[in-house]
Structure 1
Amino acid sequence: MMKIRTKRILLSFLSLLLLLMPIAVKAESTDDMYYVKDEANLMSEEEQKELETKLSTISDYWGEDVVVLTVNSLEGKTAEAYADDYYDMNGYGVSGRNGGILLLVAMDDRKWHMSTGGECISIFTDAGLNYMQEQFKPSLSEGDYAEAFNTFADLCDDFMAQAEIGEPYDTGNLPKEPLSILWYIGAVAAAFLLAFIWGSIEKGKLITVRESQTASDYAVAGSLNVYNSHDQMVRTYVTQRALPKEDSSSSSGSSTHTSSSGSSHGGCGGSF
């Protein structure tokens, strides 16, 4: 009788354990859905936490995963293949989300690559991705990695907001960079300098001018003669020209490729 009771208690315990396992797995899965994976230790712990918070907020708001990954080595793969495989194998762009973008930085190879999936392929066009790398790559080259990754995050937020209104950034429709305050100061200084030079030259021309007492002294001889005249139209000409066609190159769109897992990805990459 004691053995039966012991077995029942054990079975009840096992049943309870099995019941709680999905909850534990779900919690573990949620914890594992990180947006910053700094395997190359390029940032301080505080910088990682701040970036994780920013990327998590952007990802939750737009419903698209925005990820930063740093590694020491590509392990024999190309940067594109490594980024695509990591994106696919770690479940980004799934679990209710429509897509995502991942920025990979590999230190040994000094390579970077952005991989896009799902809806983010159309949100981040080829021209848009090229614009983005021009903004964050200088910081990468200078070793200011936290600044580069935060610039990437801010750009992702901006690009998704632009796509929300139905006009993703693309060729001929890229963000306008604000002019530096130094540019304004230089422009004003140049205008004053040119005005001073022009005024000095014109003033120099007036040295030999003397005031006259009568208006006739200012008239050029023969300039006020008036003659009868009339115009007669003998023929007309009509000039025709074709209206310029819309430039098809104003929208480059997004090129895609297939990863080793068979998923479709967009993206671009290079060295830093």
Structure 2
Amino acid sequence: MRKLFVILTMLAALMLASVGLAAAPSLVDNANVLTPQQKREVLTELRRQEQEHGIRMGVVVMKTINNEEPGKYANKLIDDVYNDGANGNIVLLQVIDKRKWYISTDKKLKEVVKGNAGVEYMSKPMVAKLKNNDYAGAYITYAQKGGELMSYYEANGEPWEPEEEFNWLALIIGLAGGGIIAYVYRGMLMSSMSNVRNEVAADAYLNKETFKLVHEDDIYTHTTVAAVPKPKNDRSSSSDDGSVSDNCSDDDHGGGGGGY
């Protein structure tokens, strides 16, 4: 009974004022975070990407989903509402009271938005705008980045994946190894020179016939202590930078989500 109530509540939030739910709108702003002008701008971009790539691309903004998991809720939207794209379906769910986002894809677009890297290609620039309350900009960025992933797949026949990052550890190990070899080689050269040898004490290098210490004194002046308070975490330094921390992927759904 509870499951039926949740489904009915979700569908009611997505229903148009007119009869039926034959074609759910690509943008559902159930939390009223957008102005009418912003809604038009977001819808224009969503529809452009849908027409260009033959996909269904939705944005659903909810005040609350109560105790439902955003990932499972978004997957349900794919199954029941946004499922008529010829080349695949994708939806962005934003939950205002939880400050959570989730991008869900169907099986087709799971091969285009590949793994966490594919989701984060869309989510990181999007979440930066969400954190600044630029909701329209966030939704447009999501649509554009999704379109870029589609274009890459269409042109290359394979999903976009990030280039392998430069291995700084290998560089450090290589430099350290080279330094050790150079130091050993330098020591071998110095030991082979008859007029050069190492001394243990620094005063062994003084010419005692020409240098004489006549006065020695140590003067302590002062110590300066500077205390710098540790900065408090704020929204801009949060670890919620668009990285995927929630994942409800399965055989029929891809995607991932997190906070903002």
Q: Is the shorter-chain TM-score for this pair beyond 0.5, marking a shared fold? A: yes
In the TM superposition, 1:231-242 aligns within 5 A as none
Residues 1:169 and 2:135 aligned together: no
Matched AA of 1:48:
K
CA distance in 2, matches of 1:173, 1:66: 29
% identity of equivalent residues: 28
Residue-pair matches, total: 159
In the TM superposition, 1:245-260 aligns within 5 A as 257-258=249-250
* 1:66 Cα deviation after fit: 0.9
Partner of 1:213: none
CA distance in 2, matches of 1:124, 1:37: 22
> Larger radius of gyration, structure 1 or 2?
1
User: Do the aligned residues in 1 keep the contact of 2:102 with 2:258 (CA within 8 Å)?
Assistant: yes
* 1:56 Cα deviation after fit: 1.4
Matched AA of 1:82:
Y
* 1:28 Cα deviation after fit: 5.5
Matched AA of 1:257:
S
Partner of 2:258: 270
* RMSD over equivalenced CA pairs, Å: 2.2
CA distance in 2, matches of 1:155, 1:38: 20
CA distance in 2, matches of 1:256, 1:74: 16
CA distance in 2, matches of 1:256, 1:138: 23
Residues 1:51 and 2:30 aligned together: no
Q: Could you say what secondary structure the match of 2:106 adopts? A: strand
Residues 1:114 and 2:106 aligned together: no
* 1:81 Cα deviation after fit: 0.8
CA distance in 2, matches of 1:172, 1:269: 22
Partner of 2:91: 102
Matched AA of 2:258:
G
* 1:116 Cα deviation after fit: 0.5
CA distance in 2, matches of 1:161, 1:93: 20
User: Do the aligned residues in 1 keep the contact of 2:105 with 2:255 (CA within 8 Å)?
Assistant: yes
Q: Could you say what secondary structure the match of 1:37 adopts? A: strand
User: Do the aligned residues in 2 keep the contact of 1:137 with 1:148 (CA within 8 Å)?
Assistant: yes
* 1:257 Cα deviation after fit: 3.1
Q: Could you say what secondary structure the match of 2:102 adopts? A: strand
* Cα pair distance change 1:125/1:35, threshold 3 Å: same
CA distance in 2, matches of 1:158, 1:256: 24
Q: Could you say what secondary structure the match of 1:123 adopts? A: coil
Partner of 1:130: 120
* 1:80 Cα deviation after fit: 0.1
User: Do the aligned residues in 1 keep the contact of 2:53 with 2:87 (CA within 8 Å)?
Assistant: no
Residues 1:64 and 2:55 aligned together: yes
* 1:53 Cα deviation after fit: 2.0
* 1:29 Cα deviation after fit: 5.2
Matched AA of 1:73:
T
Residues 1:86 and 2:77 aligned together: yes
In the TM superposition, 1:136-215 aligns within 5 A as 136-165=126-155, 166-172=157-163
Matched AA of 1:157:
G
Normalising by structure 1, we get a TM-score of 0.54
CA distance in 2, matches of 1:54, 1:173: 31
Normalising by structure 2, we get a TM-score of 0.57
Q: Could you say what secondary structure the match of 1:103 adopts? A: strand
CA distance in 2, matches of 1:85, 1:29: 15
In the TM superposition, 1:4-43 aligns within 5 A as 32-43=23-34
